[in-house]
A and B are shown apart, each in its own frame.
Chain A
Amino acid sequence: MRHWLRSFALLLKWNMLRVRTELPTFLAIQTLISAGIVVGFSLLIPEIDAEAALYLTSGAMTVSLITVGMVVAPQIVAQRKEKGLLDYQRSMPVSRLAMMAADAVIWVVVALPGLAVTLLVAVVRFDLELSISPWLLPAVLLVSAGAAGVGYCIAYVVRPVLVGLVTNLVIIVALMFAPINYPAERLPDWAAAVHEWLPFQYMAQAVRETIDAPDTGVAMLPFVIITAWTVLGLGVTSRVMTRRA
């Protein structure tokens, strides 16, 4: 475990050094996108009631975490794969999981300020009254981990040239065809049934209920299901990473 933490810390430092010049740009763009989604949604749908506003706000936050974990991260991994950098990393004496975790931390760091901005803009724009739960941070971290787990899985399983296509598909589903920005009831039954097995709606629910906790309390089912997806994603990734040609 000490070895694990040590290599994790050193890999994290390496990653920090690697992105230090781009980090301000990443942060700025990610923050702008997060604020833009809220404003954009309100243009798309002029009359927004309190429930819809809550869905759109938490949806914007969820979509930005999904973008970072399932789109940006796999694309960067695919680039590294094409450059042959993965074989270099594979020859290093560090755990595969530490390597993935050190990567994921960077993406969460990139996403976090954007989330705060989204909340702020939403409160101002929609006059939302929120009751933020202490589970918000764990929820955000878990959703990030789940998104990154699935994202890495895409990056390692799919051929690099196809990664861009698959991630585009993911983002379209997340934005429009997943019960993230609206309740599942609006979907046809079969689609709602499919989403009971996918992580999207649970990610949205976890974020939604922790920024505005329902009277019945924050449901735990989403946390369980996202954890399962995280374990599945990282498990498959780890197997592919350690598989020896």
Chain B
Amino acid sequence: MGGEPAVLEVERVIKEYRKGVRANDDVSLSVSAGEVYGLLGHNGAGKTTLLNQVVGIAKPTAGTIRVTGRDAVADPAMARRMCSMQPQAQAPLDGVSPAEAIELMARIRGANRRRAKQRTAELVDALDIGEWAKTTGERLSGGVRRLTAFAMAAAEPGRLVMFDEPTNDVDPVRRRLLWAEVRALAENGCAVLLVTHNVIEAERAVDRLAILDRGRVVAQGSPADLRGENADRLRLEVTAVDSAVARDLAAQFGGQDRGENGAGGGREDAVVVGRRMMATVNAAECASALAWAQNERTAGRVDEFSFNPVSLEDIYVRLVGSDGGNNEGDRDAALVA
């Protein structure tokens, strides 16, 4: 690795708005060339604020931001030249087609005419938006607009590319195409910073990530690091016949000390959402938990159940909690200890 600085270095950044609201509170992270770095968090966790500070739309209250080793706070124009960004706001596509917009943006970012044309063709093809490549913006669906904005940032990416919620409104098939392009950018030597609240997708796409909660970094590392001791655990998800039974199962599952009948062995917290109950189980205890679940199903108290590896989403929810989210279902989530 040697002495080459990371492409983006954020050190102890604090962004405080008037009335003392801290959008970023002591955030530090770094993104190297060839790396996809995810920034996860609820709405309002301070993800977009951080990106805006990198390109000089907002200014940190304290802390430093360096892009390719140079001070981005002192020289925001330099930062804008070095990094391309897909903002969360819709791209200005009225009157222009995706092909025109991607090509123009590539040229504005410094590509010559030939390269701009070539990159446009590649991206239109890779994202499978050829059907609309010549349709003007006001007649495009939200998803195609978003994909176009993604391609506008990816066409001539510079050293650092930042994507703010790039998969919003995008259909599942093209999301995969988009993630493949994100990977390709990193493989070509870009540093990629990715903002999302889609934890499941991020898990597959990122090399490292930080979880932001109310402006603070509450966890940081590779997905495997974050799973940590949970790596050899499985998540049991049970759909009970009704919510009362789900609560009862959770109590039963969690309430027994290890050794009595095995089902509670190695349990963490059992969580009930509606008639679903979720709990983590040590791999070693899996067989007994499986037997327990099968028993309950035979008894007619459980409709279905499944075992899965503990996902980043489970860890995310545990770290960030559900109170900050705007997910309706989270509201009646109950922790049964």
The listed residue with most A CB atoms (<10 A of its CB), out of B96, B104, B108, is B108
Question: CB-defined interface of A7-39 with B at 8 Å, one 1/0 digit per residue?
Answer: 100110110011111100000000000000000
How close is A90's CB to chain B, nearest CB, in angstroms? Answer: 5
Contact B95 A88 (CB under 8 A): no
> Contact between A13 and B56 (Cβ–Cβ < 8 Å)?
no
B residues near A94, Cβ cutoff 8 Å: 108
Does A83 make an interface contact (CB < 8 A)? yes
Give me 8 other A-B pairs in contact (C-beta within 8 A), A80-B92, A84-B89, A91-B87 excluded: A10-B108, A18-B92, A18-B94, A19-B95, A89-B92, A91-B57, A93-B110, A94-B108
A93–B77 CB distance below 8 A: yes
B58 interface residue per 8 A CB criterion: yes
CB-CB contacts below 8 Å: B86-100 with A: 87, 89-92, 94-96, 100
A139-177 to B contact mask, C-beta < 8 Å, 1/0: 000000000000000000000000000000000000000
Question: Count of B residues near A, CB < 8 Å?
Answer: 29
Let me know if A85 is at the binding interface, CB within 8 A: yes
Q: How large is the interface on A (under 10, 10 to 19, 20 to 34, 35 or more residues)?
A: 20 to 34
> Which of B80, B100, B104 contacts A91, CB < 8 Å?
B80
Tell me whether B52 is interfacial, beta carbon within 8 Å: yes
Is B209 in contact with chain A by the CB < 8 A criterion?
A: no
- Contact in complex: B108, A93 (CB < 8 Å): yes
Q: List 24 A-B contacts (CB under 8 A).
A: A7-B108, A10-B104, A11-B108, A14-B101, A17-B95, A18-B92, A21-B136, A22-B95, A84-B89, A85-B89, A85-B92, A87-B57, A87-B87, A88-B90, A88-B92, A91-B55, A92-B80, A92-B108, A93-B80, A95-B77, A244-B57, A245-B17, A245-B57, A245-B58
Contact with B along A87-108 (1 / 0, CB 8 A): 1111111110000000000000
Among B76, B87, B101, B107, contact of A244 (Cβ-Cβ < 8 Å): B76
What does DSSP make chain A's interface, helix, strand, loop or mixed? helix
For residue B214, CB closer than 8 A to chain A, the reply is no
